[in-house]
Amino acid sequence: MNKESVPMFKFIVIGDQSVGKSSFVKQYSESIFIETHKPTIGVEFVKKMVVVDKRKVELQIWDTAGQEQFRSMIKSFYRGAAAVFVLYSVNQRDSFEKLHEWLGELQESAHEEIVKILVGNKSDLDREISIQEAEKFMNGNNFSLFFETSAKTGQNVEKVFVEAVKLVIMRMFTSESFKNSIKTIKKTPANSRQNTSRNELQDDSNQIQKPIQLQVTPQAQKQEEKQCC
Ligand SMILES: Nc1nc2c(ncn2[C@@H]2O[C@H](COP(=O)(O)OP(=O)(O)O)[C@@H](O)[C@H]2O)c(=O)[nH]1
Ligand SMILES: [Mg+2]
């Protein structure tokens, strides 16, 4: 059977509880929004095949729990990550003020060149954080990108993933150490979609996988270590 090689990028979504991390991932991977979302336990991930500049990329998007008790466990999941979406909720100042804590963890656990994206979610609600304040935070904390999104209306959700993939590809070309720190090359059977003429990042909806939930146990951590690097 013919094989093609598909790079796999691991993306992580972090931020306080209830800022909309799971909704953000669900809106991107399945184009749906659920008003009453159940809390995430530990870590979950979805896979999605996308095409950018005629090149297929598999995204593995890890959705983490914001609760305090899971934080130390989540640290090991930063390994091999190409990009991290750091979410706050534009209508919740608390979640914005806690961003420093999340950045502290990132600094301890992630590769120093990981692509960092600041996301102000719930842009459909009344804001407590202005765009200017968020941009100032972005510039002072070495983020590559800032977007306000709404997991409810879908505003900017697709776009922020598109830009993230482009930034990761660009950084792979400019930094050997970043390139070596991330992802694995995945072999998949060649199929008829590979000759697509699409040149923007688009969904390959047949390739969406349902979320897989990992209880964070020593076994789960071992599984992650095997997938990694
Ligand atoms: N209005 C609005 N509500 C949202 C948005 N994103 C998430 N929510 C709601 O916020 C709550 C928490 O969302 P969830 O995705 O579970 O947050 P998580 O704990 O960060 O994963 C749920 O009731 C969601 O329906 C958004 O963009 N706009
Ligand atoms: Mg969640």
* 202 within a domain of the structure (yes/no): no
Atom in ligand 1 nearest the alpha carbon of residue 63: 21
| pLDDT grade for 206, boundaries at 50, 70 and 90 | very low
Query: Could you give the C-alpha distances from 143 to 24, 72, 84, 123, in angstroms and in order?
Result: 19, 23, 10, 19
Number of residues written out for the chain: 229
Q: What is the number of other CB atoms lying within 10 angstroms of the CB of residue 199?
A: 11
- Is 37 touching ligand 1 by the criterion CB < 6 Å? yes
* 208 within a domain of the structure (yes/no): no
3-state percent breakdown (helix, strand, coil) of the chain, nearest 5 = 40, 30, 35
CATH number of residue 22's parent domain? 3.40.50.300
Predicted local confidence at residue 101, as pLDDT: 92
Predicted local confidence at residue 44, as pLDDT: 80
* 224 within a domain of the structure (yes/no): no
Provide the mean pLDDT of the chain: 80
CA angle 55, 60, 63 (to 5 degrees): 145
* 43 within a domain of the structure (yes/no): yes
* 28 within a domain of the structure (yes/no): yes
| pLDDT value at 215 more than 50 | no
Site to substitute for ligand 1 among 14, 16, 23, most atoms within 8 A of C-beta: 23
* 167 within a domain of the structure (yes/no): yes
- Is 66 touching ligand 1 by the criterion CB < 6 Å? yes
Predicted local confidence at residue 200, as pLDDT: 33
Atom in ligand 1 nearest the alpha carbon of residue 123: 27
**Range list of β-strands (E), 54-199:** 55-64, 81-89, 115-121, 145-148, 185-189
CA 212 to ligand 2 centroid distance, Å: 13
Report which protein residue has its CA nearest ligand 1's atom 2. 122
| pLDDT value at 66 more than 80 | no
- Is 132 touching ligand 1 by the criterion CB < 6 Å? no
SS3 track for 13-65: EEECCCCCHHHHHHHHHHCCCCCCCCCCCCEEEEEEEEEECCEEEEEEEEEEC
Name which residue leads in pLDDT, 142 or 210.
142
Residue with tokens 């983490």: 64
Cross-strand bridge partners of residue 76: none
What the block records as the tokens of 57 is: 């990329």
> Which residues have C-beta within 8 Å of that of residue 153, sequence separation ≥ 6?
124
Predicted local confidence at residue 152, as pLDDT: 97
Predicted local confidence at residue 28, as pLDDT: 96
Predicted local confidence at residue 58, as pLDDT: 93
Predicted local confidence at residue 65, as pLDDT: 77
Domain that holds residue 122: 8-185
- Is 120 touching ligand 1 by the criterion CB < 6 Å? no
Rounded Cα distance between 188 and 209, Å, is 15
Q: What is the number of other CB atoms lying within 10 angstroms of the CB of residue 144?
A: 17
CA 217 to ligand 2 centroid distance, Å: 18
Provide the angle, in degrees to the nearest 10, between the axes of the packed helices 21-30 and 157-174. 90
Report which protein residue has its CA nearest ligand 1's atom 26. 122
Question: How many domains are there within the chain?
Answer: 1
* Mean pLDDT within 194-199: 30
Name which residue leads in pLDDT, 197 or 48.
48
Predicted local confidence at residue 39, as pLDDT: 73
Predicted local confidence at residue 87, as pLDDT: 97
* Mean pLDDT within 207-228: 43
pTM summary value: 0.82
* 210 within a domain of the structure (yes/no): no
CA 18 to ligand 1 centroid distance, Å: 6
